[in-house]
Each structure stands twice: as C-alpha cells, then as structure tokens.
Amino acid sequence: MDTQSIKNRFGIIGNSPALNHALNTAVQVANTDLSVLIVGESGVGKEAFSNIIHALSARKHAPFIAVNCGAIPEGTIDSELFGHEKGSFTGAVDSRKGYFETVNGGTIFLDEIGEMPLGTQARLLRVLETGEFIRVGSSKVQKTDVRVIAATNKDLLEYTQQRKFREDLYYRLSTVPIRVPALRDRKEDIPLLFRKFAADFAERYKTQSVQLDAAAQQLLVAHPWYGNVRELKNIAEQISVLSTDKTITAEALQQFLPGSTPSRSLALIPAAGTGSPAPSPADYSNTERDILYKLFFDLKKDMNDLKKMFFDMAQHNGYTQPTISETIIPAFSNPEPIVTPATYNNNTPIVLHPATDQHEEVDETLLLSDREKEFILKALKKHKGRRRDAANELGISERTLYRKIKEYNINE
C-alpha cells in the first residue's frame, strides 16, 4: 500500500517531507512487534499514528485500546493496567482484569507516558521484557502478549536525567521512535487542512463551505498554532458556524485567532534598569491582566498589614504618635534640627533632621527593623512557634509573617 492510499484510508492530510517520513516509518514498523514511541506536541495527531500501526499489523483483528496515563489517578493506574484481586484495597469488592489481560494478543496505546508514576513504570518494564505481570494484591505471575505503542509530548530523555522517568524503560520503549512534526513546521499543509475541515463542517451543518482570501490565507499560515491540528480544526469549526460571510478576509479571520500565545508570560516583563519600556495592561491577555491586578492588590494588602503592625507595636509598648505640628519638617525655612517631645519609653527625644541628612534616616530605619524583629521573636516565643497565633497577636497576615521570618533570618 503506497503512502497516498494510507493517507486516504486514515484521513491524513499533508505532503510535507517531515510528515511523509513519520508516516513511512509507521508503515515500515507496523508489521513487527517492536515497541514504538511516538513523540510530538499536543494536538499533532499521535493517536492516529498508533491506529495506523495497529491496523497494518498482524494484530489488526485483535483488540486495540488507547489509555491516557495522565487522566488516571496515581492510586488506581496499576489496577487499570494490570488488574486487582478482591479486597486488595479499599473499594476492591471484586476481582478485576486489567488492560494487559483483556487486550491479550492486541495492542495497547499508552498516551502521555511521561505522566506514568515510577512504580507503574517498573511494572510496565517487566511486561515489555518478559511478558509477565502480577495483579494488585496477588502473588500469581501471569503472562500476556501485548504490543505497546507509547506517545508523549514531553522530552523523556530530559525526564530520565531528572529521575522522573526510568532510563531503562525509555530505551526499551523507543526501539523505534516516530516524531510527528508540529503544524508550524509544515506550513504548506495548513491551507489543505483548513479546506478539508471547512468542507467537513459545511456538510455537517448543511451550509456553504467558507473560503479564505489571499490575505487571510497568509495570516492563517503565519499563525504559530501552538495547539497544532486540533487548534486549527477548532478555528475552522468556529468560522464555519459563526461567520455570516463565506469569503473570509484577514480582518475577519483575526477575530477568531487567539490574541495571545503560550510564549507570552509574566516572566517576559523587563527588569528595572534594562531600558526597556514597561508593558501596559493592554499588552497582556485577560488572564495575565487578572494575575497582575491580583499581585498589586496582594502587595497593597501586605503594606497595610505592615503599617497596622507598626501602629499596634507602638501602642502596645507605650509609644505615642506625634502630632502633625511636631513632625512636619519645613522644606527650606528651618535648616536646624527639630527636637520633638519625648515619646519613647526611655524618654529620649526624637531628633528630626532635614531631608538632606541621610545618616539619621538610616539609623531610624535600622532601629525600627530591630524592634520589628524583637516583637516577632516575642510573639513566636509566646505562642511556642505557632505562626498563625503569632500573626494574629501581631495583627498581620501569615504571609507577611513568613516573609519577615525569612527576611530577618529568624530561627524558630
């Protein structure tokens, strides 16, 4: 069967060299029992390649099952794959066969294999090497003959270095790797895919198929398509349903394309002093803008908590707040220091200097910092290290207290 016939049979659209290479590899490996690792971004159609491999193999009449490893909770994935015995865990009211038992003789497609827990990876490795498995809660070794096709959108080799994925399992799975190209890496296929999707949706919704003008087609090809074929299909469906004009211009298409991309994040805000202009709220998506506003509000709340703490500390220790007439420093007319009435417990007058004297301002700041640290230590000691009670005593939030403990290097 030639490549075009396979494309027609399985609905594969595109003529890019990278796509053809991946397809040819799948056809060549299909009639073997080798394990296959399909690598590609989310939405590129990795499951379609697993279907092609199974359908062209000697196991084509045996069962085929697709399992999303990232969608199964860690506590139950062993039971799902290998089965369990009655009473092996809470809720196991009956014995149950796992997929490796029910699909014996067929093919299992393990999608998002990078999300599989390490313990389950060890069990899978045993199946691949010996064809043996043990149900959860059992000691009986069972045999199975299942071909494993795995897929991932992660860099599993990097995962092995981070000890998130077993190195021996990685090399066992990637006997034959197939890399499915991202849509932005085969731009010549984008117009073909859009026309196919538009025709399919026109038939489904009993409407006329939409067409792109030259400018709209250029815009479509230039879009990064981080969601790949899945994203393109969704956009084609939106346009088919919502557009009243069946000839789509670039301006009309722009309304359907996402306004922000995953590459934009708060990490891209330039640091102070870099010379780059700070982005305005309009430069961000709604989600990013919400995050920024929340950060601003949290910062404002923490400042209010800090001010409240100073006032509470002052009242608690017998300080009095100077009046405005005692604290205002004339900007030009009074170059001499101003001595305020005694306000601290030790009856030491406060000397206020004009703004040009930086030395006294530094000393005063250090004094306040020392007293702040002292009150935090007292509160923690009084409540035996219970931070929540200490924060309530000081009249500040737990978050502010945590930050102050770290700032003053306080050992509880």
Q: What is the pLDDT along the chain (412 residues), one digit of tens a residue?
A: 688 899 999 999 999 999 999 999 999 999 999 999 999 999 999 999 999 999 999 999 999 999 999 999 988 999 999 999 998 888 888 999 999 999 999 999 999 999 999 999 999 999 999 999 999 999 999 999 999 999 999 999 999 999 999 999 999 999 999 999 999 999 999 999 999 999 999 999 999 999 999 999 999 999 999 999 999 999 999 999 999 899 999 999 999 998 644 433 333 334 434 444 444 444 444 445 445 545 555 565 666 666 666 666 666 655 544 443 444 334 434 444 444 444 444 444 544 444 444 444 444 444 566 778 888 888 888 888 888 888 788 888 777 887 788 788 887 6
Token readout for 85 is 């015995």
* CB crowding 80-98: b at 16 or more within 10 Å, else e: bbbbbbeebeeeeeeebeb
Closest CA relative to residue 372, chosen from 394, 392, 388, 351: 394
pLDDT given at position 408: 80
pLDDT given at position 28: 95
Closest CA relative to residue 160, chosen from 114, 227, 226, 195: 114
In order of their start, the domains of the chain are 3-181 (3.40.50.300), 184-254 (1.10.8.60), 305-407 (no CATH)
* CB crowding 155-167: b at 16 or more within 10 Å, else e: ebeebbeeebbbe
pLDDT given at position 300: 58
Whole-prediction pTM: 0.62
Is 100 within 8 Å of 127 (Cβ atoms)? yes
Is 389 within 8 Å of 383 (Cβ atoms)? yes
pLDDT given at position 404: 82
Neighbours of 1 (CB within 10 A): 8
pLDDT given at position 314: 63
